[in-house]
Amino acid sequence: MADRKAPQRELPADPASETWNHLPWRKLEKHTFRLQKRIFRASQRGNTRAVHKLQKLLMKSEAARLIAVRRVTQDNRGKKTAGVDGIKSVSPKQRLVMAQRIHPKQWVKTSSKPVRRIYIPKPGKDEKRPLGIPTIFERGRQALAKLAMEPQWEARFEAHSYGFRPGRSCHDAIQAIFDAIKHKAKYILDADIAGCFDHISHPALLQKLDTYPTMKQAIKGWLKAGVLTEGRYTSTEQGTPQGGVISPLLMNIALHGMETALLQAYKVKERPQVVRYADDFAIFHPTEEGVKKAQTVVESWLREIGLELKPSKTRISHTLTPYQGNIGMDFLGFTIRQSPVGKNRTGTNGHGQPLGFKTLITPSKEAIQGQIRKLGAICKKCQGVSQERLIRQLNPVIRGWSNYYRAVVSKMVFSHCDHAVYEMTRAWARRRHPYKNGFWIKDRYWKTDETHKWIFRDQEGPRLRNHSDTVIRRHVKVKGNASPYDGNFWYWSQRLKQHPMLYGKLARLLQKQQGKCRWCELTFRHGDRVEIDHITPKSEGGGDELSNLMAIHRHCHDQRHARKAQIGIHDKDARIEEPDEGITFTSGSEGGQEGVIHLA
Asked whether the predicted pLDDT for residue 558 surpasses 50, the reply is yes
User: Residue 568 — pLDDT band, cuts 50, 70, 90?
Assistant: low
Burial of 148 (0-12, 13-18, 19+ CB in 10 A): buried
b/e code 213-250 from CB counts within 10 Å (16+ = b): ebbeebbbbbbebbbbeeeeeeebebbbbbbbbbbbbb
Strand bridging mode 280-285 / 187-192: antiparallel
Question: pLDDT tens digits, residue range 386-426?
Answer: 889 999 999 999 998 999 999 999 999 999 999 999 999 99
pLDDT reported for residue 566: 57
pLDDT reported for residue 124: 64
User: Residue 581 — pLDDT band, cuts 50, 70, 90?
Assistant: very low
Question: pLDDT tens digits, residue range 520-538?
Answer: 777 776 667 777 888 887 7
pLDDT reported for residue 527: 65
Residues of the chain with pLDDT > 70, as a percent, come to 87
Helices (DSSP H) in 382-433: which residue ranges? Answer: 387-404, 411-432
Query: Which residue did the predictor score with more confidence, 239 or 368?
Result: 368
Name the residue among 16, 10, 133 with its Cα closest to residue 83: 133
Asked whether the predicted pLDDT for residue 452 surpasses 80, the reply is no
Question: Does residue 506 contact residue 581 with C-beta atoms inside 8 Å?
Answer: yes
The mean pLDDT value for 319-345 works out to: 90
User: Residue 17 — pLDDT band, cuts 50, 70, 90?
Assistant: low
Round to whole Å and give the CA distance between 568 and 87.
31
pLDDT reported for residue 293: 94
Asked whether the predicted pLDDT for residue 335 surpasses 70, the reply is yes
pLDDT reported for residue 13: 43
Per-residue H/E/C for 245-307? CCHHHHHHHHHCCHHHHHHHCCCHHHCCEEEEECCEEEEEECCHHHHHHHHHHHHHHHHCCCC
Crossing angle between the packed helical segments 25-45 and 62-70, to the nearest 10 degrees: 110
Question: Does residue 131 contact residue 83 with C-beta atoms inside 8 Å?
Answer: no
- pTM score: 0.84
Put residue 514 in one of left, alpha, beta given phi > 0 → left and psi -120 to 50 → alpha.
Answer: left
Question: pLDDT tens digits, residue range 182-234?
Answer: 999 999 999 999 888 888 999 999 999 989 999 999 999 999 988 888 878 88
Classified as helix, coil or strand, 131 is: strand
Round to whole Å and give the CA distance between 518 and 270.
51
- In angstroms, the Cα distances linking 221 to 65, 203, 247, 252, 459 are 20, 13, 13, 19, 60
The mean pLDDT value for 438-461 works out to: 81
pLDDT reported for residue 589: 37
pLDDT reported for residue 574: 34
Asked whether the predicted pLDDT for residue 297 surpasses 60, the reply is yes
- Give pairs for 124-129: CB < 8 Å, separation 24+: 124/366, 124/370, 124/373, 129/242
- Range of 145-159, 191-205, 347-361 with top mean pLDDT: 145-159
Asked whether the predicted pLDDT for residue 598 surpasses 60, the reply is no
Q: What is the DSSP letter of 185?
A: -
Q: What is the DSSP letter of 313?
A: G
User: Residue 565 — pLDDT band, cuts 50, 70, 90?
Assistant: low
Amino acid at 297: V
Widest pairwise Cα distance in the chain:
79
pLDDT reported for residue 473: 87
Asked whether the predicted pLDDT for residue 281 surpasses 90, the reply is yes
Comparing 3-7, 87-91, 360-364, 531-535, which segment has the lowest mean pLDDT?
A: 3-7
Question: Does residue 467 contact residue 417 with C-beta atoms inside 8 Å?
Answer: yes
User: Residue 552 — pLDDT band, cuts 50, 70, 90?
Assistant: confident
Which residues neighbour 325 within 8 Å (Cβ) at sequence distance 6 or greater? none
What is the full DSSP assignment across 360-396? Answer: EEEE-HHHHHHHHHHHHHHHHHTTTS-HHHHHHHHHH
Question: Does residue 281 contact residue 317 with C-beta atoms inside 8 Å?
Answer: no
Q: From edge to edge, which strands make up the β-sheet containing 582-583?
A: 549-553, 530-534, 582-583
Burial of 119 (0-12, 13-18, 19+ CB in 10 A): exposed
pLDDT reported for residue 167: 87
- In angstroms, the Cα distances linking 203 to 149, 190, 237, 279, 293 are 18, 28, 10, 19, 28
The mean pLDDT value for 25-39 works out to: 92
User: Residue 32 — pLDDT band, cuts 50, 70, 90?
Assistant: very high
